[in-house]
């Protein structure tokens, strides 16, 4: 709980990029302490290591994109959420394309791969960001907030003008493996009426019923239907967990999203981290210290 972790062994997977439609092969390898999550593109001549950190986020249009020296990797949020869900702090990710494979549109396949690889505890203390001061960012009627809390919890509200989705709310404290049970299988979703427009703008070229929930005017088009009655809001929480893992440390606080997305999530993170008096960045020397301070880090 208080020490950094990495994988016991490498894992491999392949698929297509949701937005580029390009085939992608990806390898995730163990990494030494204090590495963080680092991406490398094998398909470019210039070998650039891109740390998955808020400082390297360069685009948030429909997905989170990180870049370094002109080299980018997009749609990292589902994989980042899986790292958070398993509790992996350090890993090297190698790809042969500019986008992380979308798999089935959720974090489920990534979570299973990482969990099956095994998690190794390392001999370096984990860093925690303890939220001390309320922080809010807004964009019209959209809002994202951090509140102080002694654990890591998220609450989220969506409100779509569609009778199938409408208003949904979900609250979860990440603990005791409930990311795996309640969040990681929730898939990305989109509306059929917007599909051609997105493709014309260079998005969703790899999208299909195999990797997204597609909503038509009269209902969900996927033959197997929804995995959860409120799968839509659960996926928004999944995305938010992936974005928060870009902070470079485990946040202890309450994230509240109201119709927010990647852009607003990133703004919230940057606002918090730009005010050092609003948070504590610390390590814990023992689990007794954690209990004494009444801090409840996520358990996986």
Q: Which residues are catalytic?
A: 262
Q: How far apart are CA 183 and CA 232, in angstroms?
A: 10
Q: How far apart are CA 246 and CA 27, in angstroms?
A: 20
Helix (H, G, I), strand (E, B) or coil at 110: helix
Q: How far apart are CA 251 and CA 42, in angstroms?
A: 31
Counting beta carbons within 10 angstroms of the beta carbon of residue 53, is it exposed (0 to 12), middle (13 to 18) or buried (19 or more)?
middle
- Residues for the chain: how many in total? 300
Give the gyration radius of the chain's Cα atoms.
Answer: 18
> What are the two backbone dihedrals, phi and then psi, of residue 249, each rounded to the nearest 5 degrees?
-160, 160
Q: Give the DSSP H or E segment for 82.
A: helix 77-86
Helix (H, G, I), strand (E, B) or coil at 268: helix
């Amino acid at each position: 709980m208080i020490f950094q972790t990495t994988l016991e062994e490498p894992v491999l997977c392949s698929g297509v990029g949701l937005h580029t439609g390009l085939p992608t092969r990806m390898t995730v390898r163990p990494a030494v302490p204090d590495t963080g999550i680092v991406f490398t593109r094998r398909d470019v001549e210039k070998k650039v290591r891109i740390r998955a950190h808020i400082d390297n986020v360069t685009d948030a249009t429909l997905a989170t994109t990180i870049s370094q020296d002109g080299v980018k990797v997009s749609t990292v949020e589902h994989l980042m959420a899986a790292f958070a869900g398993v509790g992996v702090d350090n890993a090297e990710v190698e790809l042969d394309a500019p986008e992380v494979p979308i798999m089935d549109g959720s974090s489920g396949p990534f979570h299973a791969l990482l969990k099956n690889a095994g998690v190794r505890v390392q001999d370096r203390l984990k860093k925690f960001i303890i939220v001390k001061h309320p922080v809010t960012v807004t964009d019209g009627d959209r809002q994202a907030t951090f509140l102080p809390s002694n654990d890591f919890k998220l609450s989220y509200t969506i409100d779509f003008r569609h009778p199938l989705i409408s208003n949904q709310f979900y609250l979860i404290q990440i603990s005791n493996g409930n990311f795996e049970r309640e969040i990681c299988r929730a898939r990305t979703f989109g509306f059929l009426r917007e599909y051609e427009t997105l493709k014309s703008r260079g998005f969703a070229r790899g999208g299909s019923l195999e990797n997204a929930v597609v909503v038509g005017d009269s209902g969900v088009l996927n033959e197997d239907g929804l995995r959860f009655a409120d799968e839509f809001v659960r996926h928004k929480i999944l995305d938010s967990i992936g974005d928060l893992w870009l902070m470079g440390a485990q946040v202890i606080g309450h994230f509240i999203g109201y119709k927010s997305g990647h852009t607003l999530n990133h703004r919230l993170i940057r606002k918090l981290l730009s005010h050092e008096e609003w948070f504590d960045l610390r390590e814990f020397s023992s689990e007794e210290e954690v209990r004494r301070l009444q801090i409840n880090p996520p358990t996986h």
